[in-house]
Chains A and B, each alone.
Chain A
Amino acid sequence: MELLAIFISAILINNFVLHYFLGICPFLGVSKKIDSAVSMGLAVTFVMTITAVVSWIINHWILIPKKLEYLQIVSFILVIASLVQLVEMFIRKASPPLYQALGIYLPLITTNCAIMGLALLAVLKEYKFLETVIFGFGSGIGFTLAIVLMAGIREQLELADVPEPLKGAGISLIVAGIMALAFTGFSGMIK
Protein backbone atom coordinates (compact mmCIF):
# COMPACT_ATOMS: atom_id res chain seq x y z
CA MET A 1 0.00 0.00 0.00
CA GLU A 2 2.83 2.31 0.96
CA LEU A 3 4.56 1.51 -2.32
CA LEU A 4 1.43 2.21 -4.34
CA ALA A 5 1.09 5.55 -2.59
CA ILE A 6 4.68 6.45 -3.49
CA PHE A 7 4.08 5.39 -7.09
CA ILE A 8 0.86 7.37 -7.55
CA SER A 9 2.33 10.34 -5.73
CA ALA A 10 5.39 10.38 -7.98
CA ILE A 11 3.24 10.31 -11.11
CA LEU A 12 0.42 12.71 -10.29
CA ILE A 13 0.85 14.62 -7.09
CA ASN A 14 4.56 15.30 -6.87
CA ASN A 15 5.09 15.17 -10.60
CA PHE A 16 8.66 16.21 -11.29
CA VAL A 17 7.84 18.59 -14.08
CA LEU A 18 4.55 20.01 -12.89
CA HIS A 19 5.10 20.06 -9.16
CA TYR A 20 8.84 20.44 -8.61
CA PHE A 21 9.43 22.23 -11.94
CA LEU A 22 12.44 20.08 -12.66
CA GLY A 23 13.40 18.84 -16.10
CA ILE A 24 11.80 21.75 -17.93
CA CYS A 25 14.45 21.76 -20.65
CA PRO A 26 13.47 18.52 -22.39
CA PHE A 27 9.86 19.12 -21.36
CA LEU A 28 9.80 22.15 -23.63
CA GLY A 29 12.43 20.98 -26.08
CA VAL A 30 11.13 17.59 -27.14
CA SER A 31 7.41 18.17 -26.79
CA LYS A 32 6.66 19.10 -30.36
CA LYS A 33 5.67 15.65 -31.54
CA ILE A 34 4.00 12.93 -29.53
CA ASP A 35 6.25 10.19 -30.93
CA SER A 36 9.51 11.75 -29.85
CA ALA A 37 7.94 12.88 -26.57
CA VAL A 38 7.09 9.25 -25.77
CA SER A 39 10.62 8.09 -26.57
CA MET A 40 12.13 10.91 -24.55
CA GLY A 41 9.86 10.00 -21.67
CA LEU A 42 10.90 6.37 -21.85
CA ALA A 43 14.59 7.24 -22.02
CA VAL A 44 14.22 9.47 -18.97
CA THR A 45 12.20 6.78 -17.18
CA PHE A 46 14.95 4.26 -17.81
CA VAL A 47 17.68 6.58 -16.62
CA MET A 48 15.63 7.62 -13.58
CA THR A 49 14.91 4.07 -12.49
CA ILE A 50 18.48 2.88 -12.85
CA THR A 51 19.80 6.06 -11.25
CA ALA A 52 17.52 5.51 -8.29
CA VAL A 53 18.83 1.94 -7.88
CA VAL A 54 22.51 2.69 -8.36
CA SER A 55 22.51 5.87 -6.32
CA TRP A 56 20.75 4.06 -3.45
CA ILE A 57 23.39 1.32 -3.54
CA ILE A 58 26.25 3.81 -3.61
CA ASN A 59 24.70 5.91 -0.89
CA HIS A 60 23.88 3.09 1.49
CA TRP A 61 26.75 0.72 0.86
CA ILE A 62 29.60 3.14 0.35
CA LEU A 63 28.91 6.71 1.33
CA ILE A 64 26.98 6.22 4.58
CA PRO A 65 29.26 3.49 6.03
CA LYS A 66 32.30 5.64 5.26
CA LYS A 67 30.56 8.84 6.46
CA LEU A 68 31.07 10.43 3.06
CA GLU A 69 27.53 11.77 2.58
CA TYR A 70 28.94 15.07 1.37
CA LEU A 71 30.06 13.26 -1.78
CA GLN A 72 26.46 12.42 -2.70
CA ILE A 73 26.10 15.05 -5.41
CA VAL A 74 29.42 14.25 -7.05
CA SER A 75 28.89 10.52 -7.06
CA PHE A 76 25.31 10.85 -8.30
CA ILE A 77 26.51 13.00 -11.16
CA LEU A 78 28.96 10.26 -12.00
CA VAL A 79 26.15 7.69 -12.04
CA ILE A 80 23.85 9.82 -14.16
CA ALA A 81 26.52 10.79 -16.69
CA SER A 82 27.61 7.18 -17.17
CA LEU A 83 24.04 5.96 -17.50
CA VAL A 84 23.15 8.55 -20.07
CA GLN A 85 26.23 7.60 -22.08
CA LEU A 86 25.06 4.03 -21.95
CA VAL A 87 21.52 4.89 -23.02
CA GLU A 88 22.87 7.04 -25.81
CA MET A 89 25.05 4.24 -27.12
CA PHE A 90 22.20 1.80 -26.87
CA ILE A 91 19.65 4.00 -28.64
CA ARG A 92 22.16 4.83 -31.35
CA LYS A 93 22.70 1.16 -31.99
CA ALA A 94 19.10 0.06 -31.58
CA SER A 95 17.22 2.84 -33.31
CA PRO A 96 19.05 5.46 -35.38
CA PRO A 97 15.81 7.30 -36.26
CA LEU A 98 15.02 7.71 -32.58
CA TYR A 99 18.58 8.87 -32.02
CA GLN A 100 17.99 11.50 -34.69
CA ALA A 101 14.65 12.53 -33.23
CA LEU A 102 15.98 13.02 -29.71
CA GLY A 103 19.03 14.84 -31.03
CA ILE A 104 20.84 17.04 -28.57
CA TYR A 105 18.26 16.36 -25.84
CA LEU A 106 19.48 12.82 -25.37
CA PRO A 107 22.94 13.73 -24.02
CA LEU A 108 21.25 16.59 -22.21
CA ILE A 109 19.46 14.08 -19.98
CA THR A 110 22.79 14.19 -18.14
CA THR A 111 22.12 17.72 -17.07
CA ASN A 112 18.44 17.09 -16.55
CA CYS A 113 17.84 18.33 -13.05
CA ALA A 114 14.85 16.02 -12.67
CA ILE A 115 17.23 13.08 -12.44
CA MET A 116 19.61 14.72 -10.00
CA GLY A 117 16.57 15.88 -8.06
CA LEU A 118 15.25 12.35 -7.95
CA ALA A 119 18.47 10.94 -6.51
CA LEU A 120 18.70 13.68 -3.89
CA LEU A 121 15.00 13.58 -2.99
CA ALA A 122 15.15 9.82 -2.50
CA VAL A 123 17.94 10.41 0.03
CA LEU A 124 16.05 13.28 1.65
CA LYS A 125 12.88 11.21 2.04
CA GLU A 126 14.92 8.34 3.51
CA TYR A 127 13.33 5.79 1.24
CA LYS A 128 14.20 2.12 1.56
CA PHE A 129 15.55 0.23 -1.43
CA LEU A 130 12.24 -0.93 -2.92
CA GLU A 131 10.63 2.43 -2.24
CA THR A 132 13.46 4.16 -4.05
CA VAL A 133 13.02 1.93 -7.09
CA ILE A 134 9.28 2.59 -7.18
CA PHE A 135 9.87 6.30 -6.63
CA GLY A 136 12.35 6.41 -9.52
CA PHE A 137 10.12 4.47 -11.88
CA GLY A 138 7.02 6.44 -10.90
CA SER A 139 8.80 9.74 -11.39
CA GLY A 140 9.88 8.61 -14.84
CA ILE A 141 6.31 7.69 -15.72
CA GLY A 142 5.20 11.03 -14.33
CA PHE A 143 7.71 12.82 -16.55
CA THR A 144 6.53 10.80 -19.54
CA LEU A 145 2.92 11.66 -18.76
CA ALA A 146 3.68 15.35 -18.51
CA ILE A 147 5.76 15.52 -21.68
CA VAL A 148 3.26 13.47 -23.71
CA LEU A 149 0.34 15.61 -22.55
CA MET A 150 2.34 18.69 -23.46
CA ALA A 151 3.17 17.26 -26.89
CA GLY A 152 -0.49 16.49 -27.49
CA ILE A 153 -1.46 20.04 -26.64
CA ARG A 154 1.32 21.53 -28.72
CA GLU A 155 0.36 19.48 -31.75
CA GLN A 156 -3.07 21.08 -31.50
CA LEU A 157 -1.54 24.50 -30.89
CA GLU A 158 0.15 24.27 -34.28
CA LEU A 159 -3.28 24.78 -35.79
CA ALA A 160 -4.38 27.51 -33.46
CA ASP A 161 -4.25 31.19 -34.18
CA VAL A 162 -1.86 32.28 -31.44
CA PRO A 163 -1.30 36.02 -30.99
CA GLU A 164 1.98 37.05 -32.58
CA PRO A 165 3.98 37.93 -29.40
CA LEU A 166 3.04 34.64 -27.72
CA LYS A 167 4.06 32.33 -30.54
CA GLY A 168 6.55 29.57 -29.77
CA ALA A 169 8.05 29.67 -26.30
CA GLY A 170 5.49 32.09 -24.89
CA ILE A 171 2.42 29.96 -25.45
CA SER A 172 4.33 26.82 -24.44
CA LEU A 173 5.19 28.31 -21.08
CA ILE A 174 1.61 29.46 -20.57
CA VAL A 175 0.36 25.98 -21.37
CA ALA A 176 2.90 24.47 -18.99
CA GLY A 177 1.74 26.84 -16.27
CA ILE A 178 -1.89 25.94 -16.77
CA MET A 179 -0.99 22.25 -16.72
CA ALA A 180 0.88 22.71 -13.44
CA LEU A 181 -2.14 24.52 -12.07
CA ALA A 182 -4.38 21.66 -13.15
CA PHE A 183 -2.10 19.14 -11.48
CA THR A 184 -2.40 20.92 -8.14
CA GLY A 185 -5.90 19.45 -8.20
CA PHE A 186 -4.31 16.14 -7.28
CA SER A 187 -2.62 17.49 -4.18
CA GLY A 188 -4.10 16.18 -0.98
CA MET A 189 -5.15 12.96 -2.66
CA ILE A 190 -2.57 11.10 -0.58
CA LYS A 191 -1.48 12.43 2.76
Chain B
Amino acid sequence: MTNILWPIITMGALGLLFSIGLVLAYKKLRVEEDPRVVKISEVLPQANCGACGYSGCRAFAEAVVKGEASPNGCPVGGGEASEQIADILGVKVEDTAKKVARVLCRGSLEAAKDRGFYTGISTCAAAHLIGGNKQCSFGCLGFGDCARACPFDAIEMGKDGLPVISEEKCTACGICVEECPRDIIELYPVSQDILVFCRSRDKAALSRKFCKNACIACGICVRACPEGIILEDNLAKIADYSKIKEEHIPAIEKCPTKAIGRISQE
Protein backbone atom coordinates (compact mmCIF):
# COMPACT_ATOMS: atom_id res chain seq x y z
CA MET B 1 0.00 0.00 0.00
CA THR B 2 2.77 2.41 0.88
CA ASN B 3 4.44 1.96 -2.48
CA ILE B 4 1.42 3.46 -4.16
CA LEU B 5 0.94 6.10 -1.49
CA TRP B 6 4.33 7.70 -1.80
CA PRO B 7 4.13 8.52 -5.49
CA ILE B 8 0.69 10.02 -4.95
CA ILE B 9 1.90 12.13 -2.07
CA THR B 10 5.08 13.32 -3.81
CA MET B 11 3.43 14.16 -7.11
CA GLY B 12 0.51 15.79 -5.32
CA ALA B 13 2.82 17.85 -3.18
CA LEU B 14 4.96 18.88 -6.13
CA GLY B 15 1.92 19.84 -8.16
CA LEU B 16 0.51 21.84 -5.31
CA LEU B 17 3.84 23.58 -4.75
CA PHE B 18 4.20 24.60 -8.37
CA SER B 19 0.61 25.73 -8.65
CA ILE B 20 0.95 27.90 -5.56
CA GLY B 21 4.11 29.35 -7.07
CA LEU B 22 2.30 30.09 -10.32
CA VAL B 23 -0.66 31.66 -8.55
CA LEU B 24 1.66 33.95 -6.64
CA ALA B 25 3.56 34.80 -9.80
CA TYR B 26 0.31 35.48 -11.62
CA LYS B 27 -0.76 37.94 -8.94
CA LYS B 28 2.53 39.78 -9.34
CA LEU B 29 2.86 39.61 -13.10
CA ARG B 30 -0.75 39.95 -14.17
CA VAL B 31 -1.24 42.07 -17.24
CA GLU B 32 -4.37 44.14 -17.43
CA GLU B 33 -6.06 43.22 -20.65
CA ASP B 34 -8.58 45.07 -22.66
CA PRO B 35 -11.72 42.97 -22.07
CA ARG B 36 -12.76 43.64 -25.63
CA VAL B 37 -9.69 41.77 -26.90
CA VAL B 38 -10.74 38.71 -24.92
CA LYS B 39 -14.31 38.91 -26.17
CA ILE B 40 -13.28 39.37 -29.79
CA SER B 41 -10.87 36.47 -29.49
CA GLU B 42 -13.77 34.33 -28.38
CA VAL B 43 -15.86 34.98 -31.47
CA LEU B 44 -12.96 34.39 -33.83
CA PRO B 45 -12.52 30.91 -35.31
CA GLN B 46 -9.25 30.35 -33.39
CA ALA B 47 -7.72 28.67 -36.38
CA ASN B 48 -4.69 30.96 -36.12
CA CYS B 49 -4.39 30.66 -39.85
CA GLY B 50 -2.99 34.13 -40.41
CA ALA B 51 -5.25 34.82 -43.36
CA CYS B 52 -6.07 38.21 -41.88
CA GLY B 53 -2.43 39.19 -42.19
CA TYR B 54 -1.75 38.98 -38.46
CA SER B 55 0.14 36.26 -36.67
CA GLY B 56 -2.95 34.73 -35.14
CA CYS B 57 -6.50 35.30 -33.98
CA ARG B 58 -5.34 37.04 -30.85
CA ALA B 59 -3.07 39.45 -32.72
CA PHE B 60 -5.95 40.23 -35.05
CA ALA B 61 -8.27 40.89 -32.09
CA GLU B 62 -5.74 43.31 -30.65
CA ALA B 63 -5.37 45.06 -33.98
CA VAL B 64 -9.15 45.42 -34.29
CA VAL B 65 -9.40 46.98 -30.85
CA LYS B 66 -6.56 49.33 -31.66
CA GLY B 67 -8.37 50.27 -34.83
CA GLU B 68 -5.64 49.00 -37.11
CA ALA B 69 -7.71 46.23 -38.60
CA SER B 70 -11.27 46.40 -39.76
CA PRO B 71 -13.88 44.24 -37.97
CA ASN B 72 -14.54 42.40 -41.20
CA GLY B 73 -10.89 41.52 -41.64
CA CYS B 74 -11.27 37.86 -40.75
CA PRO B 75 -11.94 35.99 -43.98
CA VAL B 76 -12.55 32.70 -42.18
CA GLY B 77 -15.10 34.01 -39.71
CA GLY B 78 -16.85 35.85 -42.49
CA GLY B 79 -19.89 38.01 -42.02
CA GLU B 80 -20.99 36.33 -38.82
CA ALA B 81 -17.75 37.02 -37.01
CA SER B 82 -17.54 40.57 -38.28
CA GLU B 83 -21.05 41.33 -37.03
CA GLN B 84 -20.25 39.97 -33.60
CA ILE B 85 -17.00 41.91 -33.49
CA ALA B 86 -18.79 45.06 -34.52
CA ASP B 87 -21.31 44.44 -31.74
CA ILE B 88 -18.53 44.15 -29.19
CA LEU B 89 -16.90 47.32 -30.40
CA GLY B 90 -20.23 49.11 -30.57
CA VAL B 91 -19.84 50.07 -34.18
CA LYS B 92 -21.76 49.11 -37.27
CA VAL B 93 -20.09 47.26 -40.05
CA GLU B 94 -20.23 49.74 -42.82
CA ASP B 95 -20.97 48.23 -46.13
CA THR B 96 -17.75 49.62 -47.33
CA ALA B 97 -17.34 49.09 -51.01
CA LYS B 98 -15.18 46.05 -51.42
CA LYS B 99 -11.89 47.00 -52.91
CA VAL B 100 -9.61 44.96 -55.07
CA ALA B 101 -6.09 45.40 -56.31
CA ARG B 102 -5.82 46.37 -59.97
CA VAL B 103 -2.80 46.16 -62.19
CA LEU B 104 -2.36 49.45 -63.98
CA CYS B 105 -0.24 48.32 -66.86
CA ARG B 106 -0.99 46.57 -70.12
CA GLY B 107 2.61 46.29 -71.16
CA SER B 108 2.42 42.59 -71.91
CA LEU B 109 5.35 40.66 -73.37
CA GLU B 110 3.91 41.32 -76.80
CA ALA B 111 3.02 44.96 -76.33
CA ALA B 112 6.03 46.33 -74.48
CA LYS B 113 9.45 46.16 -76.10
CA ASP B 114 12.41 44.74 -74.22
CA ARG B 115 15.42 46.86 -73.56
CA GLY B 116 17.78 43.92 -73.63
CA PHE B 117 18.05 40.41 -72.36
CA TYR B 118 17.92 40.37 -68.57
CA THR B 119 19.69 37.49 -66.88
CA GLY B 120 19.89 38.78 -63.33
CA ILE B 121 18.00 37.65 -60.25
CA SER B 122 14.48 37.05 -61.39
CA THR B 123 12.58 39.29 -59.05
CA CYS B 124 11.00 42.64 -59.85
CA ALA B 125 12.89 44.23 -56.97
CA ALA B 126 16.23 43.22 -58.44
CA ALA B 127 15.33 44.07 -62.02
CA HIS B 128 14.02 47.45 -60.95
CA LEU B 129 17.43 48.33 -59.49
CA ILE B 130 19.02 48.33 -62.91
CA GLY B 131 16.10 50.01 -64.59
CA GLY B 132 14.17 46.96 -65.62
CA ASN B 133 14.17 44.76 -68.66
CA LYS B 134 11.67 46.72 -70.67
CA GLN B 135 12.17 49.98 -72.45
CA CYS B 136 9.34 51.52 -70.50
CA SER B 137 10.63 52.50 -67.11
CA PHE B 138 7.16 52.75 -65.58
CA GLY B 139 5.55 49.47 -66.53
CA CYS B 140 5.23 46.01 -65.10
CA LEU B 141 8.49 44.10 -64.82
CA GLY B 142 6.71 40.78 -64.97
CA PHE B 143 8.78 38.77 -62.50
CA GLY B 144 5.83 38.20 -60.21
CA ASP B 145 6.96 39.70 -56.90
CA CYS B 146 3.31 40.55 -56.33
CA ALA B 147 2.18 36.99 -57.00
CA ARG B 148 4.71 35.63 -54.55
CA ALA B 149 3.85 38.23 -51.94
CA CYS B 150 0.11 37.62 -52.08
CA PRO B 151 -0.91 35.63 -48.99
CA PHE B 152 -4.21 34.63 -50.57
CA ASP B 153 -2.94 33.24 -53.88
CA ALA B 154 -5.08 35.84 -55.57
CA ILE B 155 -2.41 36.85 -58.06
CA GLU B 156 -1.16 34.72 -60.88
CA MET B 157 1.29 35.61 -63.55
CA GLY B 158 -0.53 35.43 -66.85
CA LYS B 159 0.94 34.07 -70.07
CA ASP B 160 1.34 37.60 -71.34
CA GLY B 161 3.75 38.40 -68.52
CA LEU B 162 1.32 40.51 -66.55
CA PRO B 163 -0.14 39.61 -63.18
CA VAL B 164 -3.79 38.61 -63.14
CA ILE B 165 -5.63 39.37 -59.93
CA SER B 166 -8.64 37.31 -58.96
CA GLU B 167 -11.43 39.59 -57.79
CA GLU B 168 -12.85 36.86 -55.63
CA LYS B 169 -9.69 35.94 -53.80
CA CYS B 170 -8.34 39.46 -53.42
CA THR B 171 -8.98 40.88 -49.97
CA ALA B 172 -7.42 44.26 -50.69
CA CYS B 173 -4.81 43.70 -48.02
CA GLY B 174 -2.44 45.93 -49.97
CA ILE B 175 0.63 43.74 -49.70
CA CYS B 176 1.09 43.63 -53.46
CA VAL B 177 0.67 47.39 -53.64
CA GLU B 178 3.63 47.77 -51.36
CA GLU B 179 5.61 44.98 -52.96
CA CYS B 180 5.49 46.34 -56.50
CA PRO B 181 8.62 48.42 -57.06
CA ARG B 182 6.92 50.26 -59.90
CA ASP B 183 3.75 51.10 -58.00
CA ILE B 184 1.52 49.85 -60.76
CA ILE B 185 -0.84 47.99 -58.43
CA GLU B 186 -3.45 50.06 -56.67
CA LEU B 187 -6.61 49.38 -54.72
CA TYR B 188 -9.87 50.39 -56.34
CA PRO B 189 -13.49 49.73 -55.47
CA VAL B 190 -14.72 46.66 -57.31
CA SER B 191 -17.44 48.74 -58.93
CA GLN B 192 -15.02 51.09 -60.65
CA ASP B 193 -14.56 49.48 -64.02
CA ILE B 194 -12.95 52.32 -65.96
CA LEU B 195 -9.27 52.61 -65.20
CA VAL B 196 -6.16 54.06 -66.79
CA PHE B 197 -3.93 51.07 -67.45
CA CYS B 198 -0.71 52.96 -67.82
CA ARG B 199 1.66 54.77 -65.58
CA SER B 200 4.13 55.99 -68.15
CA ARG B 201 5.01 59.65 -67.79
CA ASP B 202 7.27 59.53 -70.82
CA LYS B 203 6.51 61.88 -73.67
CA ALA B 204 4.08 60.47 -76.18
CA ALA B 205 6.76 59.92 -78.83
CA LEU B 206 8.78 57.78 -76.45
CA SER B 207 5.99 55.83 -74.82
CA ARG B 208 4.47 55.06 -78.21
CA LYS B 209 7.81 53.53 -79.19
CA PHE B 210 8.18 51.59 -75.95
CA CYS B 211 4.77 50.02 -75.66
CA LYS B 212 1.73 49.47 -77.84
CA ASN B 213 -0.61 49.97 -74.90
CA ALA B 214 0.93 53.09 -73.41
CA CYS B 215 -1.04 56.25 -72.79
CA ILE B 216 0.09 58.79 -75.34
CA ALA B 217 -1.85 61.64 -73.79
CA CYS B 218 -3.80 62.23 -76.98
CA GLY B 219 -6.74 63.55 -75.01
CA ILE B 220 -9.51 61.52 -76.64
CA CYS B 221 -10.77 60.33 -73.27
CA VAL B 222 -10.51 63.82 -71.80
CA ARG B 223 -12.71 65.17 -74.57
CA ALA B 224 -15.16 62.36 -73.95
CA CYS B 225 -15.58 63.29 -70.32
CA PRO B 226 -13.79 66.49 -69.31
CA GLU B 227 -15.29 66.51 -65.81
CA GLY B 228 -14.03 63.09 -64.94
CA ILE B 229 -10.73 62.70 -66.73
CA ILE B 230 -7.76 65.02 -66.90
CA LEU B 231 -4.27 64.91 -68.36
CA GLU B 232 -1.38 65.11 -66.02
CA ASP B 233 2.31 64.54 -66.75
CA ASN B 234 1.66 63.04 -70.17
CA LEU B 235 -0.84 60.66 -68.65
CA ALA B 236 -4.59 60.48 -68.50
CA LYS B 237 -5.91 60.45 -64.97
CA ILE B 238 -9.34 59.69 -63.63
CA ALA B 239 -9.94 62.66 -61.43
CA ASP B 240 -13.52 61.92 -60.49
CA TYR B 241 -14.95 58.54 -61.30
CA SER B 242 -18.46 59.53 -60.31
CA LYS B 243 -18.58 62.01 -63.21
CA ILE B 244 -18.00 59.30 -65.77
CA LYS B 245 -21.41 58.22 -66.95
CA GLU B 246 -22.47 55.29 -69.04
CA GLU B 247 -22.87 57.48 -72.11
CA HIS B 248 -19.25 58.62 -71.94
CA ILE B 249 -17.87 55.15 -72.02
CA PRO B 250 -18.08 54.38 -75.76
CA ALA B 251 -16.13 57.57 -76.49
CA ILE B 252 -13.57 56.75 -73.82
CA GLU B 253 -13.12 53.30 -75.25
CA LYS B 254 -12.00 54.85 -78.52
CA CYS B 255 -8.58 55.14 -76.87
CA PRO B 256 -6.14 54.27 -79.67
CA THR B 257 -3.79 52.37 -77.38
CA LYS B 258 -6.37 50.83 -75.05
CA ALA B 259 -4.60 52.50 -72.16
CA ILE B 260 -7.91 53.51 -70.67
CA GLY B 261 -11.05 51.48 -70.63
CA ARG B 262 -13.01 48.75 -69.00
CA ILE B 263 -11.34 46.05 -67.03
CA SER B 264 -11.20 43.09 -69.31
CA GLN B 265 -13.39 40.35 -67.97
CA GLU B 266 -11.52 37.20 -68.79
Q: Which residues of B contact A12 (CB under 8 A)?
A: none
* Interface-centre pick from B14, B59, B121 (highest chain A CB count, 10 A): B14
B19 contact set on A, CB distance < 8 A: 82
A161 CB within 8 Å of chain B: yes
- On whether the beta carbons of A86 and B56 are closer than 8 Å, the reply is no
Contact-size category for B: 20 to 34
CA distance A104 to B26 in the complex (A): 19
Binding site for A on B (CB under 8 A): 6-7, 10-11, 14-15, 18-19, 21-22, 25-26, 29-31, 48, 55-56, 59, 121-123
Tell me how far the C-beta of A54 lies from the nearest C-beta in chain B, rounded to whole angstroms: 9
Task: Write out the residue numbers on chain B whose beta carbons fall within 8 Å of the beta carbon of A79.
Answer: 18
A89 to B24, CA, bound (A): 11
* Partner among B15, B25, B30, B123 whose Cβ is within 8 Å of the Cβ of A86: B25
In contact, B29 and A104 (Cβ under 8 angstroms): no
Residues of A within 8 A of B (CB): 58, 62-63, 66, 68, 71, 74-75, 78-79, 82, 85-86, 89-90, 92-93, 96, 100, 103-104, 161
What are the residues of chain A within 8 A of B6 when measuring CB–CB?
66, 68
CB distance A75 to B55 under 8 Å?
Answer: no
| Cβ-defined partner of B31 (8 Å) among A62, A68, A92 | A92
Residues of B contacting A104 in the complex (Cβ-Cβ under 8 angstroms): 48, 56
CA distance A1 to B226 in the complex (A): 87
B122 contact from A63, A82, A92, A161, Cβ within 8 A: A161
- A68 x B26 contact (CB < 8 A): no
8 contacts between A and B (CB under 8 A): A63-B10, A66-B6, A68-B6, A68-B7, A68-B10, A78-B11, A85-B22, A90-B29
